[in-house]
Amino acid sequence: MAFTIPPLLFGVAAFSVQWPGALQADLLAEPSKTLPLLLRHATPPVVALFGLAAIVGAVTSSFSASILSAGSMFSWNCCKRLLYPDLSVERMKVVIRASVVLLGVAAVVLALRVQSVQALWYFTSDLVFVLLFPQLVFALFDPKLNATGSKVAFAVSLVVRLGGGEPLLGLPHLIPYPELFSWALPGDPSAWYDQETGGMLFPVRTLAAAVGLVLLPTVSRLSGRSSPPQPLRNVAGDG
């Protein structure tokens, strides 16, 4: 709660500044420009310099830490533990470096295409609910869960989710869920589309998560002989 005080003070300061007509209209149209306009027009140059340096330092440190952690998790959790258990340390270093580069490029592309941090945060939360929530639930409570069931549930849930489209990334819907489930939905299928954006109003996220929750235990039990389940264990000391 204490971290909300500085932005609040910035907003109060911006409200009290006598802005020229053009800047005031720009600020009203895009309130996200409050801090850069304050630093540019309402503070001494030295203060503006240190303020911009602090923002750049915070952003770059968060960005580098996020990319490095994502690359390390991909290399350790996916490649080493799931795909290639015999991966050597030297090759893992190569995988980490390559994943850092690829994730950095993907992050830059997303930053250029998506102008809303809030919308991007909602999208990542959406993926966590659809893809990771079923995996977490059964990894903790189902001793018969195996790698085959995990892969199948993850892949199918991802296809089901992306089939509903994503306006944030400009992805159109490829699977007509309202028409497929017209027998269970009230009203006409066309009412389940947003008339302004064309986005789908069908609960595709809930459907994708439910598909993962059903497929994960089912496929794990059907493939139990060919892919025996592995119990959770402490791998901190593994070389």
Question: Over the chain (239 residues), what is each successive 10-residue block's mean pLDDT?
Answer: 88 84 80 84 88 86 84 83 80 88 86 78 88 91 89 93 84 87 85 78 91 94 86 59
147: in domain: yes
pLDDT at site 167: 79
239: in domain: yes
pLDDT at site 152: 93
pLDDT at site 229: 83
Q: How many other CB atoms are there within 10 angstroms of residue 217's CB atom? A: 18
164: in domain: yes
Residue type, 161: R
Contact 169, 124 (CB under 8 A): no
Q: How many structural domains compose the chain?
A: 1
pLDDT at site 37: 85
70: in domain: no
Contact 177, 202 (CB under 8 A): yes
Could you tell me the residue range of the domain that residue 125 belongs to?
116-239
81: in domain: no
C-alpha dihedral sign at 84, 87, 92, 95: negative
Contact 71, 94 (CB under 8 A): no
Q: With 0.85 as the threshold, say if the pTM is over it.
A: no
Could you tell me which of 161, 135, 160 has the C-alpha nearest to residue 149? Answer: 135
pLDDT at site 1: 87
